[in-house]
Amino acid sequence: MHQIKRMLNKNRKKGIAPLLLLAATMLAVDCNKLLPHTD
């Protein structure tokens, strides 16, 4: 959670889009870890 806040502070001037992209990526990775893989 602290990492996200740190990134938010850094990217505030650039805009929120990069942060949203990062958050979505992290969320997707977490979901992939939780879901059982059927390869």
**11-26 pLDDT, tens per residue?**
666 777 777 888 899 9
Q: Residue 2 — very low, low, confident or very high, per pLDDT cuts 50/70/90?
A: confident
Q: Cα dist. 37→3, 25, 33 in Å?
A: 28, 18, 9
pLDDT at 39: 62
Measure the CA–CA gap between 21 and 14, rounded to whole angstroms.
13
Q: With b meaning 16 or more CB within 10 Å and e meaning fewer, what string describes 5-34?
A: eeeeeebeeeeeeebeeeeeeeeeeeeeee
Does a structural domain hold residue 30? yes
pLDDT at 5: 81
Domain count, the chain: 1
What pTM does this model have? 0.45
Q: What is the residue range of 27's domain?
A: 2-34
Does a structural domain hold residue 16? yes
Does a structural domain hold residue 26? yes
**For the chain, how big is the Rg over CA atoms in Å?**
13
Does a structural domain hold residue 39? no
